Chain A
Amino acid sequence: MDSLGVVIAFYVLSAITIVSAASIFLLRNLVHAIVLLVVVFLGMAGLFLTLSADFIAVAQILIYAGAISVLFVFAVMLTPLASRDNGNSLYAGPGLLLGGAIAAIVVVTAFDVEWNQLTGVALEQRSFTDTIEVIGNQLLGPHVLAFEVASVLLLFALLGAIVLVTDPNNEDGAAAEEEAGKDTAVGGSE
């Protein structure tokens, strides 16, 4: 059975995450929205910690709070729209539909799955202390193909960023190369 501290931490973290996630839609200032997005990511990392998934929690901080949010920062700062407010979206209708569909899937899954089979004795039987070792063995064992496909995808993203920013008309390679080097700094960061 979970101890009282974990239960309190779960509710506090959930409240922080949900409130900040809702405020992202309500705030008019895009920069404030980014800051709250980081709070959401950190709250998610805390929720993973309460589930003893330390590797996932740290990866969440490293990738989402550290890198993806910086990508958003660049997106906001480098587009002229950044000076405007977080206006009404043209896609409010489809967005609401999509969000409702995802929420429905989550709710159905949550009520459909027999969560109790992974507590108590069943959990004791699969007990492992080190999540990294298990994740590493799974990634480079049964799921090695998915792992490789993901890395190839990232490589294509990197190449795509370089191709996008290279000016084909510029025959003088040095300047174009310089540009490419700078912009992959933005594009290839995730």
Chain B
Amino acid sequence: MASHVVHLFLYSAIVAAFFAVLTRRERREQMRFGGLVFFGMTGGVLLLAYLMFPFPR
């Protein structure tokens, strides 16, 4: 599996779930914090990719 996007979502999901369970106790808080981490990571990467688009190699 060599898709950057698939690995971006998969890796972000693993890290988000890990820190949500590690740092939050209530299920609702875990979902909220995990979502924040997941969308922060994926959104940040996609935003960075968009900003880099005008500057090809």
Bind each other: no
